[in-house]
Structure 1
Amino acid sequence: MKSCEILACSFSEWYPHFKKVTFPSRVIPLSQEFVDYLLADNLVLRSDQALITYDKGSESTSSDSEDDEEGWIKAESETPALEAPHFEEIDKKIASVIAEFGGKVFVKLNWSSPKDASWIALNNSLQCHMPADVHLLLKSSDFVLHDLTQPFKDCEDHAMNSEPVKYDLVLRKWIEINPANEFRCFVRNKNLIGISQRDDSIYCAHIEIEKEDIVRDIVSFFKEQIGPKFPLDNYVMDVVRQRKDKIVLVDINPYGITTDALLFDWNEDLLQTSNSQAAECCPGTPDFRFIPEESGIRTNPLRRYCVPEDIAHLTSGEDPYKLMDLLKLRTGQTDSADSD
């Protein structure tokens, strides 16, 4: 995998060629100032009600309200107060696109969406209804951080690549997608060699029943819409089969370890092996893999992003010493408050 292949899979590179077969989207170029804001350790979000700040393990909320009924402890910080960033031009564009797309959008950068950060949103969803929603998800995502800091990490020429990346904010019209109808397709040497159920944490009985139709629809879509137009020989595409004979392109990803192989395996190169085996029986037919029974489902890999690790350890009892530290800290705060 080379850096030029990563760049070719950037959303703004492929979207203009496939507008008719994917979801309506808008691309907003990001300034270096906004990129620096996303990379900063602290998080400051301004709303009409409050200024919310977050900085590496500490949380504070300040408001103009004098109401202290919730028992908030107010104290002056020894460090200078953080100012909420102002990106009026970008935020206006975001608000305009949200309005254009009916009040809610899906957000991503060049390659990744902040799907690992959905737990932090009020509705546990990637739906964004205002610019602050976009800021919060992007600032909270490790996937987005990877895009910003090491997009070429797994490339064989990553040490030689010095080309600066032009980052874009991508806002897509929010479309409800049934995860049971999403599939990841592997293209090698311009041939569709493998198809995997996209969400391998669920069992979908209909896939077994409709597997031949699913493969037929995806192969036809690839041959007619994607294969002749996309320049790379090797890549991975995500599609959703909305109904029989109706396939929609969701995304295009690099062909390599950067992209989750799901029910295949990059390390053992099962894609090539499986394809050669399938070709002996049915030439030109991709290897289709899905969860055939409920016992075959896998743990959702995004679960480990849902809450901070320390909290997970506390609730599971995995690390009793952290619970002891928390109780000591709480006891110390209570004693301090009593003395005051």
Structure 2
Amino acid sequence: MSSEKPSLNRLFPHLTREDVLAFQFSSWYPKFRQISIKSTIVRPLTEEFCEYLDSDGVFLPVGSEDQQASSSLSNDEDDEDSDESDSATKYAFPELDAQIRQAIADYGGVFPKLNFSSPRDASWILPAGSPMKCTSPADVYMLLKSSDFISHDLDEDNVFEGCEPFPESQSPQYELELILRKWYPIDPSRELRCFVRQGRLIGVSQRDTNYYEYLNEPDTSRRILASVREFWEYHIKDKWNGCPDYVFDILLTRDLSRAHILDFNPYAPRTDSLLFTYEDLQQVMSGSSSETPQLRVINSRSHLAATRNAPAYQHNMLPLEALQMSNDLDIGAFASKWEEEIKKTLED
């Protein structure tokens, strides 16, 4: 048997700019909103807001906090900080703040994303009991500014990386958008990533990289596969109007009989294949004519221990400023200093 790896041309489809834009939230959500999570799309966004997201450091725009800590500053304190404040760019987005507050009032809490990417890698920055639940504009901004993932959406070269050349005069326009989705306490064991190649559902992977015993029960596996296939065939297969190669994320209901769409992603190297590799999926595609997709879940507590049991996105669990600040400090001193820096940021 040859050990040569399949070429990229075999593993992945060629994508055009139009193909990629079909995966941005505003392209697919209107058609699938009845089976997705309630969401508000905010666009156009100002150039100043895009500049803010792309700027260095983690700091909040003026007015984004519901209760302004800065109101308690004395004039003397203001004077002491004037030199530092004057040298830093100040941002304020009162109209966007109002739109975010309205979405929070409508939904009771939101979690944000941009066209393609969500700040899942920064979920640690908000209370663990309600991950990514934003109850103020400041929460939204802090999540976005603390995330490495959303940088993909800020650079058009990243968004269309690897796409086939497109005539400049006919090139589809890309416009940044902010998505505010209704926050729910989601059970991660029921989140699945599904892979479609050439219009055929070939793979289903558990998204959360923890072990759940019930997912390994044979009856449960059969129910999951049956529900996923039925959902895809009835709600997605003939309604998806993008390229025939795509990845979609769903959340199953508690009884595992129905689902809600969370997102669509390109069938491309940038999309995490989770418990598969794209070589695995290629073999599934070429090695069987069966119409039943392959399901993969973590099948033991030690499964993928070396690479998957560490906290997700652990490289991003502290911003660079915190890592630099921690030098030569014990835990107690670091915690105290970090708390002071957060308070100072909110006051500024």
- Give TM-score scaled by structure 2 length: 0.77
Q: 1:23 and 2:37 equivalent?
A: yes
Instruction: Quote the Cα distance in structure 1 between the aligned partners of 2:315 and 2:31.
Output: 36
Q: What does the per-residue CA deviation read over 1:81-127, in whole Å, with 9 as the maximum and x for residues that have no partner?
A: 436422222211111111011x2111101011111122233557211
Instruction: Quote the Cα distance in structure 2 between the aligned partners of 1:113 and 1:140.
Output: 11
Partner of 2:150: 144
Structure 1 residues 199 and 99, CA, compared in 2 at 3 Å: closer, same or farther?
same
Partner of 1:294: 301
Structure 1 residues 295 and 313, CA, compared in 2 at 3 Å: closer, same or farther?
farther
Summarize the alignment of residues 61-76 of structure 1 with structure 2, pairs less than 5 Å apart.
64-65=73-74
Instruction: Quote the Cα distance in structure 2 between the aligned partners of 1:189 and 1:84.
Output: 49
- Measure how far apart 1:167 and its partner are: 1.2
Q: 1:255 and 2:294 equivalent?
A: no
**2:197/2:285 contact within 8 Å kept:** no
Partner of 1:13: 27
Instruction: Quote the Cα distance in structure 2 between the aligned partners of 1:84 and 1:226.
Output: 45
Partner of 2:238: 228
**2:110/2:182 contact within 8 Å kept:** yes
Q: What does the per-residue CA deviation read over 1:119-156, in whole Å, with 9 as the maximum and x for residues that have no partner?
A: 23355721110111111111221111111114335424
Q: Which structure is higher in RCO with an 8 Å CA cutoff and minimum separation 6?
A: 2
Partner of 2:6: none
**2:117/2:149 contact within 8 Å kept:** yes
- Measure how far apart 1:258 and its partner are: 1.0
Instruction: Quote the Cα distance in structure 2 between the aligned partners of 1:206 and 1:87.
Output: 47
Q: 1:116 and 2:121 equivalent?
A: yes
Superposition RMSD in Å:
2.9
SS of the residue corresponding to residue 264 of structure 2 reads strand
Summarize the alignment of residues 152-301 of structure 1 with structure 2, pairs less than 5 Å apart.
152=159, 154-157=161-164, 163-200=172-209, 202-209=210-217, 210-231=220-241, 232-242=243-253, 243-266=255-278, 269-277=279-287, 279=288, 283-297=290-304, 298=308, 299-301=310-312
Structure 1 residues 117 and 158, CA, compared in 2 at 3 Å: closer, same or farther?
farther
**2:192/2:207 contact within 8 Å kept:** yes
**1:104/1:173 contact within 8 Å kept:** yes
- Give TM-score scaled by structure 1 length: 0.79
- Structure 2: segments with no counterpart, 5+ residues: 1-13, 338-348
Structure 1 residues 36 and 216, CA, compared in 2 at 3 Å: closer, same or farther?
same
- Measure how far apart 1:244 and its partner are: 2.8
Count of aligned pairs: 298
Q: What amino acid maps onto 1:117 in structure 2?
A: A
Q: What does the per-residue CA deviation read over 1:184-237, in whole Å, with 9 as the maximum and x for residues that have no partner?
A: 00001111011111112x001111110010000000000000010001200000
Q: What does the per-residue CA deviation read over 1:257-316, in whole Å, with 9 as the maximum and x for residues that have no partner?
A: 1100101113xx220202444x36xx201111111111104134411110146866998x
**1:45/1:136 contact within 8 Å kept:** no
Q: Which has the higher strand share?
A: 1
Q: Which of 21, 27, 36 is residue 51 of structure 2 equivalent to?
A: 36
**1:114/1:138 contact within 8 Å kept:** yes
**2:206/2:296 contact within 8 Å kept:** yes
SS of the residue corresponding to residue 37 of structure 2 reads coil
Q: What does the per-residue CA deviation read over 1:19-78, in whole Å, with 9 as the maximum and x for residues that have no partner?
A: 111111110102222212211224343334335xxxxxxxxxx9614899xxxxx66536
Q: What amino acid maps onto 1:50 in structure 2?
A: A
Structure 1 residues 77 and 119, CA, compared in 2 at 3 Å: closer, same or farther?
farther
Q: Report the more deviating stretch, 132-141 or 209-218.
A: 132-141
